[in-house]
């Protein structure tokens, strides 16, 4: 039987990991600002949010799943399907007011179905969501194998709408409206996990599913609920990505699920469940974004971003494990 780290100890692990991640983000930003011209401007910070708003939303949904000890590798395919299906429906003349709620409902139902299968039939989350990944990516190809441009007025307005102002150092700072959608999702998720019964139940199930059952918690509702939330966030991330690119393509965001998982882990979420925060996941997304920015400034191959993120991910997994072992020894 797998031993679980006590909740108080696991919260300390989360705090330390988040502190390290936040410190790393600040140090990387200051290092970039000292080396590269214009890197230290406000526009660089805002562009981290403009370019990664969709990933923040997907990482928030992934955090819910990881907190229960599960995993979902279908989110990138759900995101791509949302973009392709939205572009297809808009091209056929359906209004955005119909298309957006429809794709959000589909994403939520896909997540719900996966959560139901995982809990009811006791199938490993990796296998169920792998099947979901193949299904959604296959549906993308069924709809279209070529990129579909989006010319809908609402999508264009959402894509181009922004706050902008001139900087005293020269240039213009921009913050697009769709970033506020991502921040709203982040704040709602933070409130739900911190202040609601459902949020406390999510942490309890991740810490020990058996103990959660003894406490009288509805484990089935929690596990299905987190996958439904994750499906909704993946679909909403697809909508934001459609704003960002104004196109739908079946091969969009291959491997995005790994970016979401690594963002959560870098931000202090344990893959074994029970520990993590959505704020930490956002910090993880921003760390990946700032690495990408530095790689761009250095004019390096974009794969260096993946190499660097992999190294940082290994570092954080090692840190979390060391802290957990020391805490267990102190308790013994």
* Per-residue pLDDT tens digits for 314-329: 888 887 777 667 656 6
Give the pLDDT score at 306: 82
Residue 304 has pLDDT above 90, yes or no: no
Q: What is the pLDDT of residue 11?
A: 47
CB of 271 closer than 8 Å to CB of 264: no
Tens digit of pLDDT for each residue in 4-35?
545 454 445 556 778 888 999 999 999 988 98
Residue 241 reports pLDDT greater than 50: yes
Share of residues in the chain with pLDDT > 90 (%): 66
**pLDDT at position 37, please?**
80
The 10s digit of each residue's pLDDT in 252-302 is: 899 899 999 999 999 989 888 888 999 999 999 999 999 988 888 888 777
Q: Which structural domains are found in the chain, ordered by start? A: 7-331 (1.10.3470)
- CA dist 103 and 111 (Å) reads 12
Residue 176 bridge partners (DSSP): 162
What does the pLDDT read at residue 141? 93
Average pLDDT over residues 56-70: 97
Residue-level pLDDT at 54? 97
Res. 247: pLDDT tops 90: yes
Query: 332 pLDDT exceeds 60?
Result: no
């Amino acid at each position: 039987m797998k031993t679980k780290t006590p909740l108080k100890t696991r919260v300390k692990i989360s705090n330390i990991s988040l502190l390290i991640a936040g410190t790393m983000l600040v140090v990387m930003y200051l290092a970039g600002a000292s080396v590269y011209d214009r890197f230290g401007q406000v526009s660089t910070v805002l562009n981290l949010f403009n370019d990664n708003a969709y990933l923040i939303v997907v990482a928030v949904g992934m955090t819910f799943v990881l907190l229960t000890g599960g995993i979902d590798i279908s989110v990138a395919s759900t995101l791509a399907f949302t973009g392709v299906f939205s572009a297809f429906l808009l091209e056929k003349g359906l209004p955005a007011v119909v298309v957006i709620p429809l794709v959000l409902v589909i994403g939520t139902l896909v997540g719900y179905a996966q959560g139901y299968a995982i809990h009811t039939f006791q199938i490993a989350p990796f296998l169920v969501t792998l099947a979901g990944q193949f299904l959604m990516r296959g549906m993308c190809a069924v709809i279209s194998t070529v990129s579909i441009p989006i010319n809908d007025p609402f999508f264009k307005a959402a894509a181009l709408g922004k706050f902008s102002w001139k900087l005293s150092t020269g240039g213009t700072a921009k913050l697009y409206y769709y970033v506020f959608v991502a921040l709203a999702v982040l704040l709602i998720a933070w409130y739900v996990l911190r202040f609601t019964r459902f949020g406390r139940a999510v942490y309890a199930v991740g810490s020990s599913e058996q103990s959660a059952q003894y406490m009288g918690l509805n484990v089935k509702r929690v596990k299905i609920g987190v996958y439904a939330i994750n499906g909704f966030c993946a679909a909403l991330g697809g909508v934001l990505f459609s704003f960002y690119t104004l196109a739908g393509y079946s091969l969009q965001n291959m491997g995005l699920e790994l970016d979401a998982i690594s963002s959560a882990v870098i931000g202090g979420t344990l893959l074994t469940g029970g520990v993590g925060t959505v704020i930490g996941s956002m910090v993880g997304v921003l760390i990946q974004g700032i690495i990408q920015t530095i790689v761009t400034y250095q004019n390096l191959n974009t794969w260096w971003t993946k190499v660097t993120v992999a190294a940082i991910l290994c570092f954080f997994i090692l840190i979390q494990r060391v802290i957990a072992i020391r805490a267990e020894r102190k308790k013994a």
